[in-house]
Amino acid sequence: MAKLAFLGMGVMGYPMAGHLAAKGHDVTVYNRTFAKAESWSTEHGGTAAKTPREAAQGADIVFACVGNDDDLRSVVLGDDGALAGMAEGTIFVDHTTTSATVAIELADVAASQKIGFIDAPVSGGQAGAENGQLTVMCGGDQTTYDRVESTINCFAKSCRLMGDQGAGQLTKMVNQICIAGLVQGLSEGMHFAQKAGLDGEAVLDVISKGAAGSWQMENRGSTMLKDEFEFGFAVDWMRKDLGIVLDEANNNGASVPVTALVDQFYGDVQKMGGGRWDTSSLMRRLK
């Protein structure tokens, strides 16, 4: 059993850290709002720290799952940042969805202190985090990855090293590209079914067994038909992720016209007041 730290007690980090504690690890947590860290420690028997540095002191592995590039820098760097409290030979694992650029930047800073760094964004949403069924895509060197894989598996159903530093974040971008187009297609299909006077649930039951079937259809199709969106992965976060995708595509020359269009559609949803709605709320925009 290892001594661990987890930075970020949001809808993902809170249950992820819980799985680590449930496996018997000694876990110290940090959250910008200290009361959330205290709540976690009361529930799971770990320790709450008031700064990332305090949380990281003595930890073999420090995990993070925060908001964006700047949020990540704020918990990693500086006098109160995690790296200031970490010893040589320890490892920082970042589960935040960020740019590949910041992953490489922070990995270089960590390496200068002889600390390992793995960028490890996740897919599976809040339900995946709560059920310990996340998919984790990692970037970094093989030796460092091998040292953290079994610990990551406390909350993952699949974990794989995709390449060097930043490769995990690039893989997550591919994930978000695929989701964006798929959810828009599913929204249009369900909207069409309703306009055509079909039984939407019957349509889902039939086509989900064929080539159109997907995780989104299985888990979001019925709620889309019911106009229910107060759950799941928020539109605000998806727009953040798609912004990262579009910036990277601009840099590497990839053509992602559907992604760019769906990003604009999510902007429309935000204007409707749906920034915290689930990404499947593209359906509501069509109405």
Read off the tokens for 61. 């592995």
Dist CA 216 CA 221 (whole Å): 7
Residues 6+ away with beta carbon under 8 Å from 206: none
Element (H, E) at 7: strand 3-7
Q: Phi and psi dihedrals of 28, rounded to 5?
A: -110, 135
Sign of the four-CA dihedral 33, 39, 44, 47: positive
Residue burial 91-109, b: 16+ Cβ < 10 Å; e: rest: bbbbbbbbbbebbbbbbeb
Dist CA 242 CA 134 (whole Å): 20
In the set 3, 23, 172, 287, the catalytic residue is 172
| 271 in catalytic set | no
Angle, alpha carbons 147-19-280 (nearest 5°): 105
Dist CA 235 CA 285 (whole Å): 12
- Among candidate residues 225, 107, 95, 248, the one with its CA nearest the CA of residue 170: 248
Indicate which residues carry an active-site annotation: 172
